[in-house]
């Protein structure tokens, strides 16, 4: 079984070397056949050069991407469609959930017939451990609004770690169009339309960094995107 890990990055020069070392080291130690794909979302700080340098000594480390910033959704979609693994997982460059969560999620496919596994901070009491009260409240409120508006029952659409069997990844992301933060929700709605089986796995953030998401602003934008998405997906003939 080949494993692909996709990591979107935008101006991550301060953490990219650690990310390369941590993820490649973990994959090398735990999986025989793997690839690690960093996708630059129009980065301008040279973080892509670190990936290129690492790939010269470890060809399983790869760089993908494009020159103009388009958003995390575009970066994830680019990497998911370029990946060659039987299991394709994406997570954040800051390793927010820890590399052990990557391994647990990949191994979970051996224990279930799920097509897609998504991380959820709402399945255990410690899922929001070390969040400030305001950040925890904002995140939970944000997710609840999306659940109601989208009409789905999963507990956490917005966690930054999700894994797909190759067929599901191809089908879902070849039909995705959203470039920014609503891309997680779009992928889930398309997966549900396609009839893929989705399971959840408990996760918690262990490496905290200031979020690039601004809850009020992005919730308004996502609700606007959601209305458009639901109409488009309802009429969609899946590729």
Compute the Cα dihedral for 137, 19, 51, 35 and give only its sign.
negative
* Arithmetic mean of pLDDT, 17-34: 98
pLDDT band at 164 (very low <50, low <70, confident <90, very high): very high
Edge-first strand order for the sheet with 198-202 is 61-66, 33-41, 2-9, 87-90, 162-165, 116-120, 198-202
Per-residue pLDDT at 69:
97
Cβ-based neighbours of 7, under 8 Å, separated by 6 or more = 19, 23, 36, 37, 38, 39, 79, 90, 91, 92, 93
Mind listing the pLDDT tens digit for each residue in 118-141?
A: 999 877 776 666 666 666 666 666
Distance of CA 61 to the CA centre of its chain: 18
Mind listing the pLDDT tens digit for each residue in 36-53?
A: 999 999 999 999 999 999
Per-residue pLDDT at 101:
96
Q: Which domain holds residue 148?
A: 2-235
* This prediction's pTM: 0.89
pLDDT band at 180 (very low <50, low <70, confident <90, very high): confident
Q: Which CATH number fits the domain that encloses residue 84?
A: 3.90.550.10
3-state secondary structure of 48: helix
pLDDT band at 22 (very low <50, low <70, confident <90, very high): very high
CB distance 124 to 235 below 8 Å? no
**Greater pLDDT, 100 or 217:** 100
Count of structural domains within the chain:
1
| Dist CA 135 CA 213 (whole Å) | 11
Is the model's pLDDT at 182 over the cut of 60? yes
């Amino acid at each position: 079984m080949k494993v692909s890990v996709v990591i979107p990055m935008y101006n991550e020069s301060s953490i990219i070397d650690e990310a390369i070392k941590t993820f490649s080291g973990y994959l090398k130690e735990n999986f025989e056949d793997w690839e690690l794909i960093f996708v630059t979302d129009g980065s301008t700080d040279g973080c892509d050069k670190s990936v290129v340098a690492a790939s010269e000594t470890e060809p399983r480390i790869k760089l993908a991407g494009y020159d103009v910033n388009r958003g995390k959704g575009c970066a994830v979609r680019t990497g998911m469609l370029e990946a060659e693994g039987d299991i394709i997982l994406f997570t954040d460059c800051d390793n927010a959930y820890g590399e052990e969560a990557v391994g647990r999620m990949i191994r979970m496919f051996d224990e279930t017939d799920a097509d897609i596994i998504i991380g959820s901070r709402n399945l255990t009491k410690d899922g929001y451990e070390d969040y400030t009260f305001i950040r925890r409240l904002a995140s939970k409120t944000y997710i609840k609004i999306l659940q109601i508006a989208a009409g789905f029952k999963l507990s956490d659409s917005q966690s930054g770690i999700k894994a797909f069997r190759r067929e599901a990844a191809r089908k879902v992301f070849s039909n995705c169009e959203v470039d920014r933060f609503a891309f997680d929700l779009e992928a889930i709605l398309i997966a549900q339309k396609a009839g893929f089986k989705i399971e959840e796995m408990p996760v918690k953030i262990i490496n905290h960094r200031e979020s690039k998401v601004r809850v009020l602003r992005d919730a308004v934008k996502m609700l606007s995107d959601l209305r458009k998405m639901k109409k488009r997906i309802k009429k969609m003939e899946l590729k």
